[in-house]
Chain A
């Protein structure tokens, strides 16, 4: 801008020295007015007049990581959660399978006070630990029916790191263990207001629904303000196993009576499959036993006096029935 003004002044040959100096000063003032730093100062002044400035005060951080041996599906799910939650932190896969108490220390090192830990067993079963870090409580779930965000049928999309609304089923207020879970989920999944990595708009909803004694998680995009939604993903179903008083330790507060471990489930299926064959064989044997060889009791001597006329005899009968 300065240079332009100089050029302009050079074109006006008739302009006096004083006038040129005045012009330069004016242009400098203009530049100052448009300066970004100057602008922010102005804004700050305005804000100070309006009231206290909103700040990022809720320093909630969630550590999301998995144990070794997690399947690709579990890993994708974990990564999806990491992209959706700007207040999440990642860590390398946990090697130890026996001592989960170490997770508390890992979280402390990473400055996290919440934790989502995916525990993989047998390369096929995925468990999720949700914990409030130093003092608990913590809950262990079996994760079922996973669909990750990469799937093609989920058409929605949202800003990376926008703050989600959390929608809970009314059943969460009905029993105390669900109440604890609700508070835990709120603290873990809600993105802090004015988090530096978050976006200023709310364009997605997480839903937690209780159906069939399980918690169904869905993530929708808010397409229009009138309530039309499109699913973004991921999808998962959490089957509660236990709630512990501490984080990854402590006495059990709740145990799900409806929970059937995947191992039990598999054995049951196998047993039923084996029973199918056994039943079929038994049925066949029973049928063979019950089947009667003689359908009607006949007297073998009845046929002794049964004769026919020699004229009616055919073939071999002619040998027995003939006239002398």
Chain B
């Protein structure tokens, strides 16, 4: 605890002692004391602001250096052309808590400083622009900058992707609407057909053109196409390819002429036979003697021969 605090407490104590019953009674009769909990008011804290001292200190330690050593610029934010001057109080309130506005305000201040200082530097013959062939160590390493670039690109990509997904979702919504319209249209056509049949039966009309199913107008044909194009969704399609959908499944795993032909790449009878022969030659297995050249005929031909013999 600092000294002034202690002093204040001592003062309070002495004050308490002075509050005798008589005094309190007197105060009550005057109407200064109200019934209820009376709390001693605390003295308001005084904040030091020694303006003269500050000014003296500033003159003491200020260095008279050339501007070239200091490079300081004092200026407000650069004005955007075409913007009216907003009221300062009103502006300040949002600025602090709105990140974008605040950063923009600071950015514009920096911009104003740059626009102010660069001509001054050029007047002093100080290069402000780095030549293309001047290489030196940077504040951030190349590795770090690469990471930043990658992150930026990734962010951009994800944004694009999300936008695409959004569009697709909207399209799908639209597709549903189209489908509903198609259903309504079909019902209407059915109704029309029934009506025209009725009319024909009663002899109101002798035209049988409606039976040929001519579409009355080509207006809806485009929408129909769109609906047809949409078809089942991607997930359903993938599942269909995996588990099968529609058509005949029976016997789909049984070998056929076609499947054998498809398999030829992997297995050929000819090659197999030659392999077997080679094997036998090498390891001295049983070898056919005599008319080894004569080939066995195909099954169909053999059966024909059999029937002829009979």
Whether B211 sits at the interface, judged by CB under 8 Å, is no
Whether A253 sits at the interface, judged by CB under 8 Å, is yes
Interface positions of A from 185 to 223, Cβ below 8 Å from B: 186-187, 190, 192-193, 199-203, 205, 207, 209, 211-212, 216, 218, 220, 222
Q: Which residues of the partner chain B approach A61 to less than 8 Å between Cβ atoms?
A: none
A164–B71 touching, CB < 8 Å = yes
How distant is A316 from chain B, measured CB to nearest CB, in Å? 56
The residue on B at minimum CB distance from A250 is B57
Interface positions of B from 104 to 149, Cβ below 8 Å from A: 105-107, 109-115, 117-118, 121, 126-130, 134, 136-140, 144-145, 147-148
> Given that A186-B70, A190-B71, A202-B121 are known contacts, is A159 also in contact with B139, CB under 8 Å in the complex?
yes
Contact residue range for chain B?
35 or more
User: With the chains together, A269 CA to B110 CA distance in Å?
Assistant: 35
A253–B57 touching, CB < 8 Å = yes
A216–B54 touching, CB < 8 Å = no
A165–B73 touching, CB < 8 Å = yes
B138–A165 touching, CB < 8 Å = no
Whether A41 sits at the interface, judged by CB under 8 Å, is no
Q: Which residues of the partner chain B approach A254 to less than 8 Å between Cβ atoms?
A: 48-50, 54
B110–A207 touching, CB < 8 Å = yes
> Given that A220-B107, A225-B118 are known contacts, is A205 also in contact with B113, CB under 8 Å in the complex?
yes
B61–A167 touching, CB < 8 Å = no
A232–B114 touching, CB < 8 Å = no
> Given that A58-B69, A164-B71, A168-B72 are known contacts, is A225 also in contact with B129, CB under 8 Å in the complex?
yes
A168–B73 touching, CB < 8 Å = yes
How distant is A15 from chain B, measured CB to nearest CB, in Å? 41
User: With the chains together, A44 CA to B105 CA distance in Å?
Assistant: 47
> Given that A170-B76, A193-B68, A201-B127 are known contacts, is A149 also in contact with B110, CB under 8 Å in the complex?
no
Contact check: which of B50, B58, B114, B129 meets A227 at CB < 8 Å?
Answer: B114
Tally of A-B Cβ pairs under 8 angstroms: 177
Q: Which residues of the partner chain A approach B78 to less than 8 Å between Cβ atoms?
A: 227
Q: Please choose the segment from A68-76, A102-110, A150-158, A300-308 that sits at the chain B interface, where 4 or more of its residues have CB less than 8 A away.
A: A150-158
> Given that A183-B61, A220-B110 are known contacts, is A257 also in contact with B47, CB under 8 Å in the complex?
yes
A149–B129 touching, CB < 8 Å = no
User: With the chains together, A156 CA to B66 CA distance in Å?
Assistant: 29
Q: Which residues of the partner chain A approach B128 to less than 8 Å between Cβ atoms?
A: 201-203, 222, 225
The proximity string for B residues 64-92 relative to A, scoring 1 for CB distances below 8 Å and 0 otherwise, is 01101111111110100000000000001
Report the count of interface residues on A (CB-CB < 8 A): 66
Q: List 30 A-B contacts (CB under 8 A).
A: A58-B69, A84-B139, A136-B61, A157-B138, A159-B139, A161-B137, A167-B75, A168-B73, A173-B74, A177-B49, A182-B74, A186-B70, A190-B70, A190-B71, A192-B69, A193-B68, A201-B128, A202-B128, A205-B114, A211-B96, A216-B102, A229-B110, A232-B140, A245-B57, A251-B50, A253-B48, A254-B49, A255-B47, A255-B49, A257-B47
Q: Given known contacts A58-B69, A193-B68, what 15 new A-B pairs fall within 8 Å (CB)?
A: A152-B151, A155-B148, A163-B71, A166-B70, A179-B58, A180-B57, A200-B126, A207-B109, A207-B110, A212-B92, A222-B128, A227-B111, A227-B114, A227-B115, A251-B53
Instruction: List A residues at the B interface (Cβ < 8 Å).
Output: 58, 83-84, 132, 135-137, 149-150, 152, 154-155, 157-161, 163-170, 172-173, 176-177, 179-180, 182-183, 186-187, 190, 192-193, 199-203, 205, 207, 209, 211-212, 216, 218, 220, 222, 225, 227, 229, 231-232, 243, 245, 251-257
